[in-house]
Chains A and B, each alone.
Chain A
Amino acid sequence: MPLLAIDNVSVSYGKAEAVRDVSLQVEKGQIVTVIGPNGAGKTSLLMAAIGLLRSTGRIIYDGRDISRLETEERIEMGFCLVPERRELFSDLSVYDNLRLGAYSRRAASGEIKDDIAQVFDRFPRLLERRNQMAGTLSGGERQMLALGRALMARPRLLMLDEPSLGLAPLITREIFRIIASLRDLGVSILLVEQNARAALETADFGYVMETGEIVHSGSADALMHDPRLIATYMGGSEVS
């Protein structure tokens, strides 16, 4: 049984349909990626999955239909999203942002302190800036904080919307290394990316989305070597 099954989901903005009849699955312990051009509907799909956008169709999480649950209830079930716009609390410190990441857990404060220490281990730059306001962080630091804040919820399924957006190549590689390491901790991941090659290198399975629909899917390996995709999404040069 997949951890997440998105079942014939459609999203509309007024008359315009941004996502049409999309179905996809994320198995436990997998990294699944959705790639596709700008405006394909990837962000809309994630927003619908977490309940911030109204949608039709069904969203099954851990065997339960959560389509009618509030976003907050989905979060409490360990289903989390790092949104494209990050949505950090700009006037709160890095530390407070992380602390609030664990809001849904109602855990003992000792346990939460340990988890914050772990995030700081993962992102030493955040430790240096623990008392700085989130709004004054650099782009890369904000991405780290957004990811770290989501980890504070101890998610079972984490959706990441373009985690490498605007990052220097070196940090991008670092972020993807961290994403891969999360899988080893047992976190399943649904990853939306523009950087198709890096995403497919990290993922187990991939979907390609164009103008609101899934047009290809397959193992990450197969997609990475699919000549049609190489031409469109990977700058045309074959890798092996």
Chain B
Amino acid sequence: MTPDIAAILALDGIATGAIYVLMALGFVLIFAVTRVVFVPFGDIAAFTALTLAALELGRLPGTVGLVIGLAVLATLMELYSILRAGSYERIPRALLFYLVLPVAIAGLVWITSGTLWPMPFRIALALLLILPVAPLLDRIVYRPIADASVLLLLTVSVALHFALVGLGLLFFGPDGARTESLTDAMFMLGNIPISGQTILIVVAAAIFCGLLYLFFDFTLLGKALHATALNRTGARLMGIRPERSGTIAYLAGSVLAGVSGILIAPVNTIFYDSGFLLGLKAFVGAIIGGLISFPVTAIGSIFVGLLESFASFQSSAFKEVIVFSVLIPVLLWRSYTFQHTEEDMDE
């Protein structure tokens, strides 16, 4: 391996790692606020990629049906619990958030799906359409068992992931897709070529990390989310609703998943079931950060990306084997240094 090749591999690894950073931050965000390890995160990213691919071909993306179905189901469940509690004044708000908004977005995409829009518009549509999926899943699947143990929530997450893969096959079909590249620009750093795509990925990841940081450190809503993560009872006593914090975490997580899906779509061919491996690698980054630390998570995810890049150079067939065999000792080491995570979250 010459230094040049090493540099190219490193750049490649950093780009892949940056995508994992986005997803891993989503994992940490959702886990911190809701205690849910949101395994279907990768699926959401994959569905965003497939949605963008469909829009590119002027087809109706399967996500439209998925969102409408989830919205109807979530609305029915919400109405049922409202009727049982007898708090009818909550009905209009519930209808707006669980039915009208998601269906309006799906409708917008449906109506405009024949038209070939310019790329930025397609990307915006794909992101908009994926936005309600995680919050709706939260309402349908996690809200009824909000007080369950972390382990049960994780088990349910795994089941939900498999359900989503099934739905993915139903709504998107078995064919893979790769979207147009976001930019064809090429730069030379000495004699190492850097694609505009790589730069875009890294810049996007940096921007979203920055936004997340600003959100948590400088906005009241961000502080309220942080407070929910630290102490749910304390938060409730301040009038902060943990369910609402959860919804916001899922929305923010959806943006992160969506953006990573958009960024990876032109680089890798994505199938309805590609989400799992993507999510798993990002999840490893999140675990390296102990599921609580955002900065360590980012470093961990970049590390996974680099590892993957060098492993695929050594032997692309054994890429995953190499990646995960190296990661096991790292994870063991982290599990010794992060013993206290569980108690922290329960306090």
Q: List the interface of chain A (C-beta within 8 A of B).
A: 50, 52, 68, 70-72, 75-76, 80-81, 83, 85-92, 96, 99-101, 103-104, 149, 153
Contacts and interface: CB of A to CB of B under 8 A. Distances in A.
A71 B220 contact: no
15 contacts: A68-B86, A70-B241, A75-B236, A81-B237, A87-B231, A87-B234, A87-B237, A89-B230, A90-B347, A91-B226, A99-B220, A103-B224, A103-B238, A103-B239, A103-B240
A211 B236 CA distance: 28
Q: Is the interface of B mostly helix, strand, loop or mixed?
A: helix
A236 B220 CA distance: 51
Contacts of A88: 231, 234
Pick from B220, B224, B231, B238 the residue with the most CB of A within 10 Å. B238
A29 B238 CA distance: 23
Nearest to A90: B230
Contacts of A83: 233, 237
B236 to A, nearest CB: 5
B334 interface: no
B223 A100 contact: yes
B239 A75 contact: yes
Contacts of B239: 72, 75-76, 103-104, 153
A203 B237 CA distance: 24
A104 B238 contact: yes
Pick from B87, B227, B235, B347 the residue with the most CB of A within 10 Å. B227
Given A87-B237, A99-B220, 20 more contacts: A50-B237, A52-B236, A68-B85, A68-B86, A72-B239, A75-B237, A75-B239, A83-B237, A87-B233, A88-B234, A90-B230, A90-B231, A90-B347, A92-B226, A100-B223, A100-B238, A100-B240, A101-B238, A103-B224, A104-B239
B236 A92 contact: no
B223 A92 contact: yes
8 tightest A-B contacts by CB?
A104-B239, A87-B234, A75-B239, A103-B238, A89-B230, A89-B227, A72-B239, A71-B236
Pick from B85, B223, B226, B347 the residue with the most CB of A within 10 Å. B223
